[in-house]
Structure 1
């Protein structure tokens, strides 16, 4: 009877240790997932900023092209 109780106590200790290890592993996984989510958000913001910058460059390029066309037209008028 004593050996059975000792065996049960040992099993309970092993299960407790295993549960603590699993809890620690879950905490580590949660922290890793949180870090990854933050990095993805930072990348998303960077991509949005790049897209906005590209749109600005495109808009300015169109404006510059329009100014250049206007200048060419004015030079033509001046030559004639």
Structure 2
């Protein structure tokens, strides 16, 4: 039997792909693409040249060896 049965509903999961998400920033050092999925934003970022991106992520909350995103949304992973 293929497809959902009479008693099941199909679950549609939102998704995004880099190849189909339009470019929103096209700068010499970075290309950014953003897709809105329900209440989340998915970002695809490409660095076409060799860049040290560490300074951009300095100051994120968390332990120095495991920095976390500063977004207010809850994390699905647990600290170990």
> Normalising by structure 2, what TM-score?
0.20
Larger Rg: 1
> Normalising by structure 1, what TM-score?
0.20
Q: Which is bigger in relative contact order (C-alpha 8 A, separation at least 6)?
A: 2
**Normalized per residue, which structure has more strand?**
2
**Normalized per residue, which structure has more helix?**
1
